[in-house]
């Protein structure tokens, strides 16, 4: 998302200009089947494995509007003699109608107002793996310093999903020649929704303080857990077929979603100058800059947590993400497509990075907040081997080994704090006392800090 200023002798291309090119046809959307023409109907038949009958449909000029009225006798008259084949086709059409009838859901969010989400996104939200995020505070131990910081990863993830949809739709509307399909939009929104699935208790405290001490030498980050949890969510809830019914192509789109969260799945390719991503081609490289921008850090994840954290912390947010949305365009820079903005918007981007610095100074790195998270980490370390969490196959995991078993990790949230605090087990006495000191505000004293 670099700042862009075109030289006076440059010749704008269709992808780097700020004008709106002519609209072009995009991929078939199942939800819009009543508006299909004959060709879209034939495309659907091919995709569902009924390609041999597309000519019969074309001869009778059957479009999306007429699909709904098709009956078994109609299919037989069209030459489909096999009853099983007719039944299979009718069942496929019935699923199409059911998908088109699925309602979107509207959330009333304190930051973004009314958020309308696609039915597939709702199916992901209504899983134990996603609902778990309700019990993980966005700012961890900072809540003990800022009373308003009680917001959680659940609402943040919905906000990121919403902003991801806004940005990608804005690009699709202003630059139709990019050929951003409804499938692309849905995948980007799913990535935004699921990007924080892997966070542990008290968010960054868990992966930056607890795990490095509990399992030294274990290279683990919450992004890795997000990928594992996303796979677990899809498999445990049987969402593969649901995703395909909503137009996603597996496993390609699953790879695309995970690559947006954590970067290339095949790190070796990037070291050899090859295109490192499997989900989308180099011509759609800009899609990887929306949820988690590995190039310059300007992404919708930050936009949401700036707005949300400032709202709950009582700090004024000086960055205006809505203005960025208005000016964002995809431009070709040295053969690669980037999300760019006008050079006059550089001040707004400076405000974004200044806002991040301000939040770190005033809240994220607050000395008392750091002390409290140090104490909670110490309590978790003392309780680690004594907390048993049931995982897959009946095995039990500790606090630190739950990251290796997503069934156990699904049950690990901020509530472990209360579990230790109100326990009566003698082996948890030391951990219980530390957390009791946190609650009673008997904190370690801050003497100072050093930096290497």
Instruction: Characterize the bridge pairing of strands 396-397 and 389-390.
Output: antiparallel
Residue 167 CB neighbours (<10 A): 23
Q: Under a CB-based contact definition with an 8 Å cutoff, are residues 112 and 218 in contact?
A: no
3-state helix, strand, coil in the chain (%, to 5): 60, 5, 35
Handedness of CA 290, 260, 233, 228 (dihedral sign): negative
d(CA 342, CA 116): 29
Residue 109 CB neighbours (<10 A): 15
Residues forming beta bridges with residue 185, ordered by sequence position:
none
Q: Under a CB-based contact definition with an 8 Å cutoff, are residues 141 and 380 in contact?
A: no
Nearest residue to 51 via CA among 106, 4, 89: 89
> What is the Cα gyration radius of the chain?
25
Place of tokens 């399992």: 215
The secondary structure of residue 427, as a DSSP letter, is G
Decide if 321 is catalytic.
Answer: no
Active-site residue, from 222, 232, 246, 366: 222
d(CA 154, CA 136): 8
Residues forming beta bridges with residue 330, ordered by sequence position:
339
**Structure tokens of 383?**
């309780």
d(CA 287, CA 300): 12
Q: Under a CB-based contact definition with an 8 Å cutoff, are residues 3 and 341 in contact?
A: yes
Give a three-class secondary structure readout of 230-287. HHHHHHHCCHHHHHHHCCCCCCHHHHHHHHHHHCCCCHHHHHCCCCCCCCCCHHHHHH
Which residues are tagged catalytic? 222
């Amino acid at each position: 998302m670099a700042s862009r200023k075109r030289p006076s002798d440059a010749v704008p291309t269709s992808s780097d200009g700020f004008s709106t090119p002519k609209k072009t046809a995009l991929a078939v959307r199942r939800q819009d089947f009543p508006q299909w023409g004959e060709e879209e109907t034939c495309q659907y038949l091919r995709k569902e494995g009924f390609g041999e009958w597309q000519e019969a449909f074309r001869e009778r000029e059957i479009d999306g509007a007429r699909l709904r009225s098709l009956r078994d006798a109609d299919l037989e008259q069209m030459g489909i003699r096999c009853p099983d084949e007719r039944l299979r086709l009718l069942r496929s059409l019935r699923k199409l109608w059911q998908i088109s009838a699925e309602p979107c859901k509207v959330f009333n969010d304190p930051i973004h107002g009314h958020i309308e989400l696609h039915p597939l996104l709702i199916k992901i939200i209504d899983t134990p793996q996603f609902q778990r995020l309700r019990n993980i505070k966005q700012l961890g131990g900072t809540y003990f310093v800022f009373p308003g910081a009680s917001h959680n990863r659940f609402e943040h993830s919905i906000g990121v999903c919403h902003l991801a949809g806004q940005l990608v739709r804005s690009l699709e509307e202003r630059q139709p020649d990019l050929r951003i399909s409804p499938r692309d939009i849905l995948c980007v929104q799913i990535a935004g929704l699921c990007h924080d699935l892997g966070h542990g208790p008290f968010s960054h405290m868990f992966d930056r303080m607890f795990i490095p001490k509990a399992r030294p030498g274990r290279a683990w980050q919450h992004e890795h857990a997000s990928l594992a949890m996303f796979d677990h969510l899809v498999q445990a809830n049987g969402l593969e077929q649901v995703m395909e019914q909503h137009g996603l192509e597996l496993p390609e789109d699953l790879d695309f979603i995970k690559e947006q969260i954590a970067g290339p799945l095949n790190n070796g390719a990037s070291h050899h100058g090859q295109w490192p991503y499997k989900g989308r081609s180099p011509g759609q490289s800009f899609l990887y800059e929306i949820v988690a921008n590995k190039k310059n850090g300007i992404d919708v994840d930050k936009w949401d947590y700036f707005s949300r954290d400032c709202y709950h912390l009582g700090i004024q947010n000086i960055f205006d993400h809505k203005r960025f949305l208005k000016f964002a365009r995809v431009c070709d820079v040295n053969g690669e497509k980037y999300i760019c903005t006008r050079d006059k918007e550089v001040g707004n981007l400076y405000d974004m990075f200044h806002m991040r610095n301000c939040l770190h100074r005033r809240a994220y790195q607050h000395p008392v907040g750091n002390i409290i998270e140090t104490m909670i980490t110490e309590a978790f370390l003392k309780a680690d081997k004594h907390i048993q969490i049931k995982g897959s196959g009946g095995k039990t995991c500790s606090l630190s080994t739950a990251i290796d078993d997503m069934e156990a990790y699904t049950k690990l949230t901020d509530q472990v704090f209360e579990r230790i605090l109100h326990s009566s087990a003698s082996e948890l006495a030391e951990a219980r006392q530390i957390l009791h000191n946190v609650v009673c505000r008997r904190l370690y004293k801050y003497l100072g800090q050093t930096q290497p």
